[in-house]
Structure 1
Amino acid sequence: MRRAGRGAALIAAPLPADAEVRGDRVRAPGARGGAVIYVHGGGFTDTMPEDERLMAYRLSKATGRPALRVDYRLAPTHPCPAALEDVLAAWRGVLDEGVPASQIVLVGESAGATWVLSALLEIARAGGPRPGAAVAVSPITDFALTGASLSADDGKDVLSHAVLGSIADRYLAGADAQEAPQSPLYGELRGLPPLLIAVGTDEMLLDDARRFAEAADAAGVSVRLEEYEYMPHGFHLSERGEVLLDRIGRWLADPVREFTVSDPDAGPYALAHGPDGALGFTEWGRGGVGRITTDGRITTYDLPRSDSEPHGIVQHDCALWCALETGSLARIEVLR
């Protein structure tokens, strides 16, 4: 995976304190705490406020949380990264209202899904709290347009290669198509919150969703990819959209999240909880240990001998201590 280059981060400094948050507040009956930040689609250039308010209502009803529809600036008048700045302003605005970050869910569809993933990269890069979860429906993740499904599903989908090329030109306005955050696939994905990615199998963007999900999983992110058979782009607006909304609600209510921390053959085994909230773990099959922080960042450490076979582990005195099969202890300094 190509990582963002030196000039790739388009948001070079924190947003000013007076950044404007534009949009609509929508609350379904029974919605209580937390918040959904909803970022609509429309090819980066269009908006349909009434339809988007209805979608915000449906999301509020499905998740039991009030929703904020972000009225972001549109290309080509306001090209990348204007809309990203607006999504980040909405995120910070909801935080400033006192909503805990862990209770905020970012949800985006199509172009909005791309903005959601881009925003997650910027939030992770800047540090600080991260959202509790995010949902991306049919995102474009690679504006270099290299996914195999762009050709395989051309003619089956409501989109076409020509349309996507035109969208890319208006959206990027000269920004590099192979750099993040504008093309999320090329970003550093470690530390992202749990993700639900949904896509139709007849979509040209099928591989954009699949490849991002695979890359996120490899980076240790808890990610679920849901594919809806024979569905084209925009399927979430059809009757099948009710199935997706129900799935989103159930997924958010599920307390179980899985995080990939190492190769299955490495055999993650014992766990140790540190005072900073991070977890240490042994990799019995690999002869190593690892550590995952509260923001999902994973670091692994090789032990001097591959046959060390670490068993028990504790975190003490700014270090991980583990008992080895070789009849010795290993100390790995992790906090300097």
Structure 2
Amino acid sequence: MTVETVRAPGCVAPMSDGVVLYFHGGGFFCGNLDSHLHVVARIARLTNLPVVHVDYRQHPEVAIDMSIQDCVDAYRWLLEEGVSPTRVVVAGDSAGGFLAFATLIAGQRNGLAVPAGVIGISPLLELDSLARKSHENFRRDPFGVASVLPLIVECIHPAQADVDDLSPLNADLKTLPPALIIVAESEVLRCDVERMCEGLTVAGRQCTVQSWPHQLHAFPALLPFLPESRAVFESMTQFIETCLANSSPSSSMGVG
């Protein structure tokens, strides 16, 4: 697992003042620090915060449980560097969105406090595809994500693990921090997003969903030049600022 810290020109703030931990997308088998540098650079520029970009291991080198472990290790490293969890916002797109939520849940199981907030851009949130088959976007998704997801899961599935245990949607959501989730209105992963929002709401947690019409899966990362993508990055910036402004030791432990 490798990380790089990206800063906007002139940004000298220590990570203890606030940091974004970002996991790139790529279906758990592609994508790297270079492919998503434009995303983290824009976040760094808009927030004027350091962004820690994680190059986690992927298929075929490892199964998804080890990808999650790398991301948990990156978060643990931040905490060991003296950064308070109340000064961290975790974010990711597509597969990286899955890892953002999975990192929070796995981190809690390992005794790590939850961060100030979490952002998912078109996140996969459940490895099992059963619920998506009855969603209106199952055959409507322009990218055909629904047809390839079972093949991806078959490849990345750990030999000795239950996919239900790894899926954020099946976890206890009662202690998760405020969440911002971006999704294209026509993509099949809107099913995951709607269910996660419902689960967080039932658990008494804060969740904001932005569903964008006439867009594609992970459009802010894939098509950053669009006016809609620029608007998403502005929303993410406001969310990050609010999370860091409102964070406190009690909220980091999921109280409230």
Q: For 2:156, which of 171, 182, 187 is the aligned residue?
A: 171
The count of aligned residue pairs is 244
SS across alignment from 1:199? strand
Runs of at least 5 residues in structure 2 that lack an aligned partner in the other structure: none
Task: Answer yes or no: is 1:228 the counterpart of 2:216.
Answer: no
Q: 1:165 to 1:255 in 2, by over 3 A?
A: closer
Residue by residue over 1:108-131, the C-alpha shift from the partner in whole angstroms, topping out at 9 and shown as x without a partner, is 100011011111112223334321
Matches within 5 A, 1:1-336: 21-31=1-11, 32=13, 33-145=17-129, 146-148=131-133, 152-174=137-159, 175-179=161-165, 182-236=166-220, 237-238=222-223, 239=226, 240-254=228-242, 295-297=253-255
Mapped to 2, the partners of 1:66 and 1:257 lie a distance apart of 16
Higher relative contact order (CA 8 A, sep 6+): 2
Shift of 1:295: 2.1
Q: 1:149 to 1:231 in 2, by over 3 A?
A: farther
**One-letter amino acid of the counterpart of residue 122, structure 2:** S
Residue by residue over 1:26-69, the C-alpha shift from the partner in whole angstroms, topping out at 9 and shown as x without a partner, is 10135433111110000000024323122111111222210111
Mapped to 2, the partners of 1:192 and 1:130 lie a distance apart of 7
Residues 153, 202 of structure 1: 8 Å contact kept: no
Shift of 1:107: 0.7
Q: Which runs of 4+ in 1 moved over 4 A?
A: 148-151, 255-258
Match of 1:315 in 2: none
Q: 1:51 to 1:160 in 2, by over 3 A?
A: closer
Residue by residue over 1:206-247, the C-alpha shift from the partner in whole angstroms, topping out at 9 and shown as x without a partner, is 010110111011112121111111212121132122111100
How big is the alpha-carbon RMSD for the aligned residues of Structure 1 and Structure 2?
Answer: 2.3
SS across alignment from 2:176? coil
Larger Rg: 1
Shift of 1:257: 10
Bigger fraction of residues in helix: 2
**One-letter amino acid of the counterpart of residue 296, structure 1:** G
Runs of at least 5 residues in structure 1 that lack an aligned partner in the other structure: 1-20, 259-276, 279-292, 299-336
Q: 1:244 to 1:49 in 2, by over 3 A?
A: same
Bigger fraction of residues in strand: 1
**One-letter amino acid of the counterpart of residue 49, structure 2:** R
**One-letter amino acid of the counterpart of residue 110, structure 1:** S
Q: 1:256 to 1:132 in 2, by over 3 A?
A: closer
